[in-house]
Amino acid sequence: MKPERIVPLGDLAAYVEFSRTLDLEVNETARRLAAAVRAAADPRVRDVVAGLGGVAIHFVPAIAEPAPALAEAIVAQCVRQGLPPAKKIGRDLEIPVCYDPEYALDLEEVAERTRLSPERVVEKHQKGSYLVLMIGFAPGHAYMGGLDPALAVPRRATPRALVPAGSVAIANDQTVVYPYAISGGWSVIGRTPLKVFDARRGEPSLFGTGDRVRFRAIGKEEFLRIAAEA
């Protein structure tokens, strides 16, 4: 529970570091702390961001104390009052994914690398239960842990210039869903028809840190139907 160190992230933010390597237990602590700091709604706090190994607290420019000291006091108070249990953070989500070859741009390559058939790759991905460890890189872009180790492939040597929006991709021990058509180096094995980030929606981001995610395989017809409604 005790942070390893609290370092300045510029003069208006501090990073509360628990670990420099990915550890799921540490990540859970970071997410619980982030939830507690956000719930405390300190008027000096502007943003609370859970990273894989720690939490950044961003402050308003008018703060009188140095950011790390302020962060330390806020963290200590949150820890004293007790962090929310991990189960209470995040939601259970079921995300429809079409694994058709048309959308699964790198499925063949992943199958070759993992020495599994494309069907087995899809089955293993679709059967997993995932946890959103961090949101970053782009609005709504969720890094999810829980990928079957049999599907571990490194990032592609040459990133794609434009990965289509909604693409479901894997690399190492994680899976992601691309919110926009952006460049990216993960292997694309499917696509969701849902809008991952929509600024006009009351809840703009489909995913939140701590969400528990399952993927449901859908056919192309259902994909097109949901996409038309979204």
Which residues contribute to the site for other proteins (CB under 8 A)? Answer: 7-13, 15, 17, 19-22, 34, 38, 46-56, 58, 61, 66-68, 134-141, 143, 179-180, 182, 197, 199-200, 204-205, 208-209
Please, what's the largest Cα pairwise distance for the chain?
Answer: 60
State the nearest-atom distance from the C-beta of 35 to other proteins, in Å.
10
Question: Rounded to the nearest 10 degrees, how much is the dihedral formed by the CA atoms of 86, 87, 90, 93?
Answer: 140
For residues 220 and 41, give the distance between their C-alpha atoms in angstroms, rounded to a whole number: 44
Closer CB to other proteins, residue 7 or residue 217? 7
Closer CB to other proteins, residue 98 or residue 176? 176
Closer CB to other proteins, residue 181 or residue 226? 181
Report the relative pairing of strands 54-59 and 92-98 from DSSP bridges. unpaired
Closer CB to other proteins, residue 67 or residue 168? 67
Report the relative pairing of strands 92-98 and 212-218 from DSSP bridges. parallel
Closer CB to other proteins, residue 30 or residue 107? 30
State the nearest-atom distance from the C-beta of 68 to other proteins, in Å.
8
State the nearest-atom distance from the C-beta of 156 to other proteins, in Å.
15
Q: What is the DSSP string of 179-223?
A: SSSEEE-SEEEEE--S-SB-TTSSS-BS--TT-EEEEEEE-HHHH
State the nearest-atom distance from the C-beta of 222 to other proteins, in Å.
27
For residues 168 and 177, give the distance between their C-alpha atoms in angstroms, rounded to a whole number: 4
State the nearest-atom distance from the C-beta of 120 to other proteins, in Å.
28
